[in-house]
Amino acid sequence: MKDDAIFEIMVTPKSSRSLVKLDGDIVRVFLHSPPADGKANKECVEVLAKKLKVAKSRVSIERGARGRTKRIAVQGMTLPEVLCKLGE
């Protein structure tokens, strides 16, 4: 069994489109949803799961649920695997 991949992301809510972008060593997530009532967090998990091609239940916000900088955990993947898929 693999360990969880844990990494930091920068979130930009209320963007014109939802996408994940690897900017050097920083993962940036642009979200269409506003940061109200957990809508942006829910969309963040959905967008990351879709990009990584894993179930939403395997992606979780470990820290930063109320801020723009978040720590994300992905179950069953290593960090190099996650960064490789995000860079595609």
Instruction: Report the CATH number at residue 55.
Output: 3.30.1200.10
Separation between Cα atoms, residue 53 and residue 57, nearest integer Å: 12
Separation between Cα atoms, residue 33 and residue 14, nearest integer Å: 5
Residues 43-59 have a mean pLDDT of 96
pLDDT for the residue 72: 97
The conformation of residue 54, written as its DSSP 8-state character, comes to: S
Instruction: Measure the N-to-C terminal CA separation of the chain; round to a whole number of Å.
Output: 24
Residues 19-42 have a mean pLDDT of 93
Query: Cβ distance 28 to 41 under 8 Å?
Result: no
What is residue 70's three-state secondary structure?
strand
Separation between Cα atoms, residue 25 and residue 64, nearest integer Å: 19
Range of the domain at 34: 5-86
Is 90 exceeded by the pLDDT of residue 1?
no
Number of domains in the chain: 1
